[in-house]
Amino acid sequence: MASWSLYFLVEILRCASLLCLLCLDDMACVVYGAQEITLPVTSLFPSPICKASTSNANSTLKLVHKNSPCSPLFNGEPVNHTQLLLEDIARVKWIRSKISGASAANSLKDSAVSITAKYGAGGGSYLATIGLGTPKKDLTLLFDTGSALTWTQCEPCAVSCYSQAEPIFDPSQSSSYANISCSAPSCTQLPSGTARPSRCSGSTCVYATGYGDQESFTVGFFATETLTLSSTDAITSFEFGCGQNNGGRFKGFAGLFGLARDWISFLEQSATKYGRYFSYCLPPSTSSTGYLTFGMGSMTSASASFTPISMVSQSSLFYGIDITGISVGGKPLSIPSTVFSNVGSVIDSGTTVTQLPPTAYSALRSAFRQAMSNYRMSAPASPFDTCYDLSGSTMVTVPVITFSFRGPIDVQLDPSGVLFPVTQSQMCLAFSSTGDETAFGIYGNIQQRSFEVVYDVPGGRIGFRAKGCS
């Protein structure tokens, strides 16, 4: 009987694969088995056409990948994956320096208008459009759970501004704009969110912060303004950075939208209205849209599985998360629990590729390669060392990868969180090693794709709801 059951299962999967070849909608052709997933190779590549997702009915902001055809900044250029990954490496280095306690500020000059960068905004980041000022002006900002300060470029760009798609915000045209005084308590508290001392220009507070590609920075006036999320949602007297000197590798977007764990972040400044609750869904394809929503009432947390937020003692900005194990193809990997518990991990919206301790990554890589032994391997594509040439394949079958977190909860990754398309024919295992058993791990945004990720900060927990973008 067992052999007949296996025979019928194989036949069902074979027929399903044949039907997929005739499908017009790639994602409708995904075939889920107990330990593996079969899907069209083309479904793993981004489309040049925007495919709007069916987002949460109560969502406040639409999220799009910065290189997406759904983005208001899209110029038709193909994604430069090499550049994207280099930017991602810069961000990873910044996060590690913050968590390890190493000072990256030593290389910064004292001048508030001439600083060296110290951390990267992330290669594969996502954008949200907010309103600022009275009357409001729409601005597209990089959404970031690892940064605290929200800032945008401001006229008159006293020193320099980089090129952005939308008109640069002009505070002189807003009736609700006001500079913050140097003597204000919030000015003296700025370093917790910027890692740089505040300065004064006359009696006005001046902020400065930089980013880890060693080039990007922003300096300007610390001010208050009305920040609008929707026709019914606005935060008055919101404290933000009005950048007068901005440069480096920023391109197109107008600034950053900070949701890290710091008093200056949007999370804390909107706490009275939204209670420190937010969630987002990063779409399974960079060619479709997701959402970012605030407040407990807009969440579907009843169907989410939760893990506690762990403390990152070296830097309170980040959201810590405790990985306890990994399974490939339904089989738990033989990884000592201390590999994860001795160092810890953070979850980050701006880091693209998940970083694992060498022991954990080696075990994952070995199991994945064994499961993918029917496919031809290709040359590595840094930082990836497990890549495949799928140019001759119409369908691909990948093993199910499941992460276990403290709770305990299990999160089965979407196929888009397993393979990363480097070229039109090359796919790579979308993970990398930290290179050091003592370095913090990072749970990146590729592995978060398609999930509603729920941040219940008062409850000290983070939740995952599968198929959260639909």
> Cα–Cα distances in Å, from 299 out to 279, 307, 357, 463, 468?
7, 16, 33, 10, 10
Calculate the CA 98 to chain-centre distance: 18
Query: Does 138 participate in catalysis according to the annotation?
Result: no
- Please tell me the total number of residues recorded for the chain in this structure: 470
Structure tokens at 369: 């390669």
> Cα–Cα distances in Å, from 349 out to 124, 125, 262, 286?
9, 7, 16, 14
d(CA 285, CA 302): 26
Task: For residue 181, report the phi and psi dihedrals to the nearest 5 degrees.
Answer: -70, 150
Query: Does 436 participate in catalysis according to the annotation?
Result: no
> Cα–Cα distances in Å, from 116 out to 413, 430, 453?
38, 31, 34
Q: Say how many CA atoms lie within 13 Å of 414 toward its Cβ.
A: 25
Structure tokens at 223: 């001010």
Q: Are 322 and 403 in contact (CB under 8 A)?
A: no
> Cα–Cα distances in Å, from 119 out to 92, 96, 258?
8, 10, 14
- CA neighbor of 140 nearest in space, from 126, 127, 125: 127
Residue listed under structure tokens 């593996």: 36
Please pick, among 144, 213, 414, 456, the residue that the annotation labels catalytic.
144
Residue 104 DSSP SS3: coil
Bridge partners (DSSP) of residue 206 are: 199, 221
Phi-psi sector, 74: left (phi>0), alpha (psi -120 to 50), beta: beta
Element (H, E) at 14: helix 2-21
Residue 247 DSSP SS3: strand
d(CA 109, CA 331): 52
Please pick, among 213, 262, 322, 348, the residue that the annotation labels catalytic.
348
State the burial class of residue 266 (Cβ atoms within 10 Å of its Cβ: 0-12, 13-18, 19+): buried
Give me the active site residues, please. 144, 348
